[in-house]
Amino acid sequence: MKPLILVTNDDGITSKGIKVLIEEMSELGEVFVVAPDSPNSGMGHAITVASTIHIKKSPIFGSIESYECSGTPADCVKLAKHEFLKDRKIDLLVSGINHGANSSISVIYSGTMSAAIEGAIEGIPSIGFSLDDFDYNADFGHIRKYVREIAAHVLKNGLPADTALNVNFPKASAGPIKGVKVGRQTRGYWHEEFDSRVDPSGRPYFWMGGHYVNSEPKAEDTDVWALENNYVSVFPCHFDLTHYKALAEIKGLEDII
């Protein structure tokens, strides 16, 4: 029996990235798609709790059973797991391929990676794929074999419990990919800048921009270094946010009252 592969994303069901991902996963197993009906970039791990979620079957991928969802990427995973595939074992969840990298601190804000992490929460081996190219018509040709081989490896070997893989690819214009680097998340942050404006009705509003600050630009074991040096970056992430090394340092809080 073919493995069952759940595909989702955050760029929306009509994006080029998810189409490429579905084509590659179709070589490995039975594909089932639940994806947002519109772009959800930067949605993080949001879920829909204050309104209804609408979902309808989509013919966009032909014979592959596909649904577009009004909710978030995390909603899509929950619906697939607990409604559409509730009586079946999902062998692999893949999210993406995102238009734009999800390296360093961006993993916190990423709908792509939140879908993968939701899969890990549900006990499904999960991978988030992202390409360092925001162009709607980005070239995915140079990464297809890596997407397929990384997914095949996880299907065969599994992943540690509570773990999702964050996989980022350099853009095609950067030149030939040098290989795959397994590393860690880069320490960095977004320096926000807000452009203050006034709408035609005289109401003030803000447009958020900014730039990324890499706190360790020379660290060769990080995802950003790998991307900047034309490697495929792979790092494992999990949803336990406990800072274990800090536990002893804050132990004194137990004695304040």
Binding site feature residues for a divalent metal cation: 10-11, 41, 98
Q: What are the backbone dihedrals phi and psi of residue 209, each rounded to the nearest 5 degrees, phi first? A: -135, -155
164 touches 234 (CB < 8 A): no
Tokens standing for residue 158: 């599994």
Which of 133, 152, 155, 154 is CA-nearest to residue 142?
A: 133
Record the tokens describing residue 115, joined without a space.
Answer: 């879908």
Which single residue is written with the structure tokens 């035609």? 200
Residue 190: which of 121, 102, 124 has the closest Cα? Answer: 102
Residues annotated within a binding site = 10-11, 41, 98
Secondary structure class of 143 (helix, strand, coil): helix
8-state DSSP, 81? I
Whole-number Å distance between alpha carbons of 7 and 20:
11
- Looking at the DSSP assignment, which residues form a beta bridge with residue 196? 206
